[in-house]
Structure 1
């Protein structure tokens, strides 16, 4: 189940960060990269119904097992998400660019640590004979997980997204963007 929990937010953020850029004429490469990043990260919001629907549609039922509404989870997790593009350094001869972005988001590690501690504490206080059903236990876990998500404070992480120019002068983020987002989420 942990794998499912991590998958949905990661997929959404990773996909949002892999938009391609056209590198010929018009705005500078730096401006294009800034625009690409701004477009991708501005879509990450608890108010973006399209994003919330995509997250719900990609859910495989893990949240429902815990009695959690996937959209409510997504809204709580994304609450407080911000980004700031600090710098874009372009080396046109090498065909590379590094964009430094500060992401502020809730840490999944902190959320899971808080949830695990509370749930373990809860388990030590109950008599297994008095538990109504397995479903009731799952629902209690779900309530504790939602509380941990809602109470989590966003943390800042500095990410460096590398862009490369291909043979057709098109600039795009490298595959390392996914790893940068994953690290920021932790």
Structure 2
């Protein structure tokens, strides 16, 4: 039983790393190009929408960036395909850009993300692990590999059942550098923090 609990804690940490990277990767390079046809507000808004759409649609570039940023092979120990995990977590992901305010060479965009609740995922996973450990005969005689696969099944089942929930509003700060709007370096951390507390 201790093995099951230890592995579930390990998977929670792996999931945290995946979730943190999911939205952090694309937004690190968020920048709006210069254009004489668009206002600064429109540039920031369209650039932000473009990056968030790549996440929402699981664009190939975004998927590749995530695969490079997170060692998805850690999930394979549990029989979990990393891409399946990402697709399941991002199913239903959406966003609203609530406002964009430009003040000279700085700007702020406020957005709200809607995605599966991380706390809901943790709760569902814990309940599933508790159910297994309450019935030790269910895994008696299973090898560690079989237990790992069972845990993997629980993880995906838990994730599939998690409800969508909006995050608290997130403010992203921008600075205009050489006619290009660049997101603050804290952006990925701010996004990840919002996702981890929804």
Tell me if both proteins adopt one fold, taking TM over 0.5 as the criterion.
Answer: yes
- The alignment partner of 1:43 has SS state of helix
- Asked if 1:159 is matched to 2:170, the reply is yes
Q: Which runs of 4+ in 1 moved over 6 A?
A: none
1:24 CA displacement: 6.5
List per-residue Cα deviations over 1:48-90 (Å, max 9, x = no partner).
3443454445434221111111111111100000011111011
- Asked if 1:141 is matched to 2:163, the reply is no
1:75-94 equivalence runs, <5 A: 75-92=87-104
Give the TM-score normalised by the residue count of structure 1.
0.87
**What does residue 76 of structure 2 align with?**
64
1:8 CA displacement: 2.6
- Aligned to 1:118, which of 123, 128, 135? 128
**What does residue 39 of structure 2 align with?**
28
**What does residue 51 of structure 2 align with?**
40
Alpha-carbon distance in 2 for matches of 1:68, 1:129: 19
- Asked if 1:3 is matched to 2:13, the reply is yes
- The alignment partner of 1:149 has SS state of helix
Count of equivalent residues: 183
1:100 CA displacement: 1.0
Q: 1:129 to 1:51 in 2, by over 3 A?
A: closer
- Asked if 1:181 is matched to 2:191, the reply is yes
List per-residue Cα deviations over 1:91-121 (Å, max 9, x = no partner).
11xx221111111011222202210221122
1:17 CA displacement: 1.1
Give the TM-score normalised by the residue count of structure 2.
0.82
For the aligned residue pairs, the C-alpha RMSD in angstroms reads 2.2
- The alignment partner of 1:131 has SS state of coil
**What does residue 108 of structure 1 align with?**
118
Contact 1:52–1:75 at 8 Å: present in 2 too?
Answer: no
The more displaced of 40-49 and 61-70 is 40-49
- Asked if 1:172 is matched to 2:172, the reply is no
- The alignment partner of 1:73 has SS state of helix
Alpha-carbon distance in 1 for matches of 2:179, 2:139: 67
1:35 CA displacement: 0.9
1:129 CA displacement: 7.8
